[in-house]
């Protein structure tokens, strides 16, 4: 199988940044505890990025809005055993080099962010619950707390479920309709939400500029050949890993 991964064009301009979104060829990247097959898959992916799996730190992913500030001392947490991941958070931020931030996704949206002025990096896992909880806003606010101006952030929203494939129940639709009226749709009595529009709006409201925001067109369902989708394949899907890191000066 041909093995490749996706990179954000806007972050490609920065040679100090390590970044990538794995594709199906790398295999499943999510584990509940420890799993030798997933570790092998993660090792192959990090090797392709030119980093060691031992430098990676992973979020627990609880569909909330908490951000943890991590340092080099956290390197390896959650990389080999999910019970050691950063608990209770969906987002990470660091100013340290050689600690590479990672989330796993399959339909949920990954967010990566870089402030080239303060050399700070961040990552978030944003599903519909996390978006409603404001995880994108929380990430930008943490950058601000660490001295960043939001208009300096270079941000990418990665592959995730598109509105055509994200059918929601009425209660979820109405929650989104209140905050993101332009991102909700009704077709044949079914409700749909465009999570990418919601998250982009949320990030821009927090101060990210349109010019600095790249939104991946890929959908995990439309492009299921390349990406795992929880909606299509259930919990045994092939989860993507999304990584951002800062190389040593």
Contact set with Zn ion (CB under 5 A): 162, 164-165, 219, 221-222
Compute the least distance from the CB of residue 136 to Zn ion, in Å: 21
Distance of CA 211 to the CA centre of its chain: 19
Closer to Zn ion by Cβ: residue 30 or 196 = 196
Residue of minimal CB distance from Zn ion? 219
Of the candidates 102, 110, 206, which has an alpha carbon nearest to the alpha carbon of residue 153? 206
Compute the least distance from the CB of residue 160 to Zn ion, in Å: 9
Number of H helices, E strands in the chain: 7, 14
Closer to Zn ion by Cβ: residue 167 or 222 = 222
Compute the least distance from the CB of residue 219 to Zn ion, in Å: 3
Residue with tokens 């129940």: 169
Helix intervals (H) in 50-184: 128-133, 135-145, 170-179
Closer to Zn ion by Cβ: residue 53 or 221 = 221
d(CA 93, CA 70) in angstroms, rounded, equals 6
Compute the least distance from the CB of residue 231 to Zn ion, in Å: 9
Closer to Zn ion by Cβ: residue 46 or 220 = 220
């Amino acid at each position: 199988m041909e093995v490749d991964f996706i990179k954000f064009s806007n972050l490609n301009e920065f040679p100090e940044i390590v970044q990538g979104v794995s594709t199906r060829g790398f295999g499943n990247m999510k584990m509940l505890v420890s799993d030798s097959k997933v570790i092998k898959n993660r090792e192959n992916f990090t090797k392709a990025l030119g980093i060691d799996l031992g430098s990676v730190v992973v979020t627990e992913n609880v569909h909330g809005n908490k951000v943890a500030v991590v340092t080099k001392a956290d390197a390896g947490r959650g990389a080999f055993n999910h019970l050691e991941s950063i608990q209770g958070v969906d987002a990470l931020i660091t100013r340290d080099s050689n600690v590479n931030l990672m989330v796993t996704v399959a339909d949920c949206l990954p967010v990566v962010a870089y402030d080239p002025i303060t050399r700070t990096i961040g990552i978030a896992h944003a599903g519909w619950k996390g978006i409603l909880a404001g995880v994108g806003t929380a990430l930008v606010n943490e950058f601000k707390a660490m001295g960043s101006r939001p208009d300096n952030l270079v941000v990418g929203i990665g592959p995730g479920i598109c509105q055509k494939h994200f059918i929601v129940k009425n209660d979820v639709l109405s929650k989104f309709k209140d905050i993101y009226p332009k991102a909700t749709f009704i077709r044949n009595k079914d409700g749909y939400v465009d999570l990418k529009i919601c998250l982009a709006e949320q990030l821009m409201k927090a101060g990210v500029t349109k010019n600095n925001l790249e939104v991946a067109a890929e959908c995990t369902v439309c492009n299921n050949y390349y990406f795992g989708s929880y909606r299509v394949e259930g919990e045994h899907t092939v989860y993507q890993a999304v990584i951002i890191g800062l190389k040593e000066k």
